[in-house]
Structure 1
Amino acid sequence: MNILLVGSGGREHALAWKIAQSPLATRLVVAPGNPGMAKHAELRPEFKVTDAEGLAALAREMKADLVVVGPEAALAEGLADRLNAAGIPCFGPTAKAAQLETSKAFSKAFLQRHGIPTAGYGVYEDVAEAKAALAQYSAPYVIKADGLAAGKGVAISPDRADAEAEIERMLGGRFGSAGSRVVIEEFMDGEEGSLFALCDGKRAVLFGGAQDHKRAFDGDLGPNTGGMGAYSPAPVFTPELVQQADERVVQPTIQKMAEEGAPYRGVLYAGLMATSDGPKVVEFNARFGDPECQVLMMRLDGDIVPLLLACARGDLTQAPTPRFKPGVVICVVLAAKGYPDSPLEGSVIRGADQDFGPHVQVFHAGTRKRDDGALVAAGGRVLNVCAYGEDVAQARERAYAAIAQIDWPGGFHRSDIGWRALAPR
């Protein structure tokens, strides 16, 4: 099979690593890709993920049997729509179906319309109206930019003054058009986790869970980021909670999206809060999480390609049941100093591509090669150090031992990834 993978981050590096292991993959092309993927695939760095027309032309040119879309920006631009029109199987939803992620207002209205459990909310475009609406809620206040903001468009404000300042920043253009509307939600108390499902437009098959760490610094302090680390499996996902989430959230979502004329194909990422009333939706993503994808790919036992292809072709009934290895995989994100607000680019990284042994993989997320061959930082989240262990403690030990061997003064990382799994429950 000729396979085109779209994206350039850690999520896509993990997918490329896994897809390249498949005996079905005779040719793998990644557009644009990153230096870490060069050992697994052909890179086409001249493409941008938002160039839906160009990427569709590339898929036609290489006679792709399957296109796997990594980032949400490509979905929002309608890449899946163009590929579907050309008869090329695409793992990833259409722009209409991807609104579950690309518009929080759409997603919340969908959930409310179909009685799928989530927090109460309101949608606002006017600063004064949004500030006045805070009276309907109690602290802490949850304020979200409506559109795509690279995982940074959520603020949890401890008091009303801070919430009003966040409203001013978002509606004042902090996230551009993505913040032209804000969603204010009731705060949900509980523990959050990420549950994944593979979907073919008519049905969904669960694909494991993970827990992300959104805050920049140890102890869940600092600003929200796109994710500073993850681990899988997550203890929050008890068998009972997973069954409830499948019955109350995942299956109704896929069924109702199809009924509304937007059949959902690809992976559905349900960010869930485990509350005293059961699981409730925090958010949906229309793609694998980053860094959750990295830990899932390392845990997956078997070939990923038949699963991706079955979703893209709209028939999961003949696909193998996803199986995961016992044990735990942990991912620690190494980010450039200044992330998430003003990450410093260009600092040299040494030792990232050495052999760390069979239990450790380093996925590139935001790197580039200089003309002299040096590997340098080229983004906010730069490297993902992932390790497998029989339990969380062993996986953590292996991940942080590998990090200690990487020489990068220009970066930082959290030292407490996986802390919830080690805390008494």
Structure 2
Amino acid sequence: MPRPRIPAAIAHPVRLLPLTFFALVVLGTLLLLLPVARSAEGRADLVDAFFTSASAVTVTGLASVDTSTYWSPTGQAIILVLVEIGGLGIVALATVLGLFIGGRLGLRTRLVAQADMHVVNIGEVRPLFRRVAVTMFGFQAVIAAILTTRYRLAYFDDLPTALWHGVFDSVMAFNNAGFSLNSDSLVGYAGDGLIIIPICVAVFIGAMGFPVLAELFKEWRTPDRWTIHTRLTVWGSLGLLVFGALTFLALEWANPDTLAPMSVHDKLVTGIEGGIMPRSGGLNSFDWGAVSGETLAIGTILMFIGGGSASTAGGIKVTTFLLLAFVILAELRGDPEVTVGNRSVGPAVVRTALSIALLSVMLVTSMTLLIMILTDFPFDEVLFETTSAFATVGLSTGLTPQLPDSAKLVLAVLMFIGRVGTIAAASAFVLRRRAPRYHLPEEQPIIG
């Protein structure tokens, strides 16, 4: 019996990727609409179910309802599975299952996987997915064991409850999603380094990106042999962590609503969290709605930058941010080429970085204005929320549950585009690329 052919209009990998993610969002919505997924009698609200599904699939963690009370254990389990699938990637999961069952990869599957995971060499797809599966599930198991032990010894009287919280928080942390089984996220564990630090480590590692982790596994002793991508991701992530933690501590140290009542130890632990979570973590042990305006602005910037490429993090990505910095540096120096270390960066990569940054700025700005038109909330809070949605972070000042359905749908669109990628989402509708047959005369418009 012949295999059904995928229509050419949707078979292209760049278009198939967002369609696959959207199909999972719809499936998640239908599952969350089941009465068994709701803690109370009756079905969930359609918009809340769709918003929660989109937030889970895009590993964001923004919640329009209280996850701990609105959803039943079955609903929470559905959210966990959606986050796990979304974090690994629809295509990555299908590819890993195919490897385990049949050991074969079709060319089309490998092309879609290449588009999703940003692998340069198509021959790297199969071994990468094997490492992805081992790394992801193995690391989550270790973090879950650590958290379960701490929860059982200090917070919960029974092992099943501690295990469920440990597994749930481990999955959310590594996938950089902000869902929590507690109404106040991690506020009840504020300053507890045996919980906050493992969760922060999981968020940081999950935001590095699988290609970087694979390279570090083989070349961690020889940084001079790292690729440009790995160098930018590792050193950029560490630099942003230090910057975020120090500025958070400096700005919030005396804030009576955040760090002031804490001991020095608890402040330092929370400071590390404040430097990591805005990069795409989404979990919080303090109220982001109580921070100063300066901290809110720094958090917005860190969210917009995001984590590493091909990771569970969102944003424009740290490599894009640093590459644009090198572009500016080359322009100020008058260099004919953009160089990073002892390597030059091609003009196509520079154009892609510029396109991603400009499209992201345009998208976040326009959606911020749209939500301000739909609501009466102040600019800084709306910008924080829209940036959190676009960068698939999940941090909130408490604004999302108060939004009307129309504004929630706007955030859902932002989360979807932020997960699929601005370039992939835009290119999905512009697939035909023809090589130019001629070169037009050049002209130099006045810049600046």
TM-score, normalised relative to structure 2? 0.29
Larger RCO: Structure 1 or Structure 2 (Cα < 8 Å, ≥ 6 residues apart)? 2
TM-score, normalised relative to structure 1? 0.30
Larger Rg: 2
Q: Which has the higher strand share?
A: 1
